[in-house]
Amino acid sequence: MRNLTGLLFAGGLGFMLLAIASGIDFGTPPMRIGEAIQSASPQEVGAANIVTSVVLGYRGIDTLGELAILFAAASAAGLVLGRRHTTTGTQRKGGFVLFHGGALIFPFLLTIGFYIIFHGHLTPGGGFQGGVILAAAFFLPLLARPGARLHHSILSVIEAFAGASFILIGLAALAEGQAFLQPMLNQDTLGSLISAGTLPLLYIAVGLKVGAELASLLSNLAQTESEQ
């Protein structure tokens, strides 16, 4: 019975989506806001990557909300995972290739991660993408050596201050008499590394927060699994 209702629901939803899709005019999206932002953002914000000027400038509070969602999810996962009973199990070390390969690739991952974060306002990428790569860099040694531990206290300090600095940069604009999260500082030349005012700083905060959050979440998961 339950399967049947599920099937009916899924079928109905599928039919509805098809009906909707047939009614949409693909290929000619209305660009009311998009066009205006595309033409104005290089002068207004000064970031060569227009996506960045939307993510951190025009819709900065959305990004703050996304950061908060990630933080809430990690906290909730911590509440669930932190409570499991711990029983010591055997932990097998990773093989030679994984072990040394992990050590070899670690600095490269760090470099790429930070590169992507620092160039978020110039090229595709940014804080979220770079942060995930940073988290992967720190998680790789954990896979190779299951006994290793990440320093959770350091991670949580990084996480807290990265998140706080995003908001504090926004509040600094407010204290200057401008709007919350308004881009500040010099815009400089479009396309150079130091340009677009506070946007790169915001992306560094996002990158560190995402990296620390995911790294501690992954190590939490790995530890809970290996302890069972």
Query: Using CB under 8 A as the criterion, which residues of the chain lie in contact with another protein when the complex forms?
Result: 16, 20, 23-24, 29-34, 36-37, 40, 44, 57-62, 64-66, 68-69, 71-73, 75-76, 78-80, 82-83, 153, 156-157, 159-161, 163-164, 167-168, 170-171, 173-174, 178-183
Cβ 115 to another protein shortest distance, Å = 26
In this complex, which beta carbon is closest to another protein, that of residue 168 or of residue 194?
Answer: 168
Gap between the Cα atoms of 209 and 204, Å rounded: 8
Cβ 150 to another protein shortest distance, Å = 16
The single-letter code of the amino acid at 101 is G
| Torsion sign (Cα): 119, 122, 125, 126 | positive
In this complex, which beta carbon is closest to another protein, that of residue 88 or of residue 153?
Answer: 153
For 210, phi then psi, to 5°, come to: -60, -45
Q: How many alpha carbons lie under 13 Å from residue 170 in its C-beta half-sphere?
A: 20
End-to-end CA distance of the chain: 36
Token pair, residue 81, equals 């995972």
**26 secondary structure, DSSP code:** T
Residues contacting residue 146 through CB under 8 Å, at least 6 positions apart: 91, 92, 93, 94, 222, 226
Q: How many alpha carbons lie under 13 Å from residue 70 in its C-beta half-sphere?
A: 24
- Cα 11 to Cα 3, 16, 22: the distances in Å are 12, 9, 17
Cβ 166 to another protein shortest distance, Å = 8
Cβ 82 to another protein shortest distance, Å = 8
In this complex, which beta carbon is closest to another protein, that of residue 48 or of residue 202?
Answer: 202
In this complex, which beta carbon is closest to another protein, that of residue 68 or of residue 148?
Answer: 68
In this complex, which beta carbon is closest to another protein, that of residue 182 or of residue 226?
Answer: 182
Cβ 102 to another protein shortest distance, Å = 29
Gap between the Cα atoms of 68 and 195, Å rounded: 27
In this complex, which beta carbon is closest to another protein, that of residue 182 or of residue 224?
Answer: 182
Cβ 20 to another protein shortest distance, Å = 6
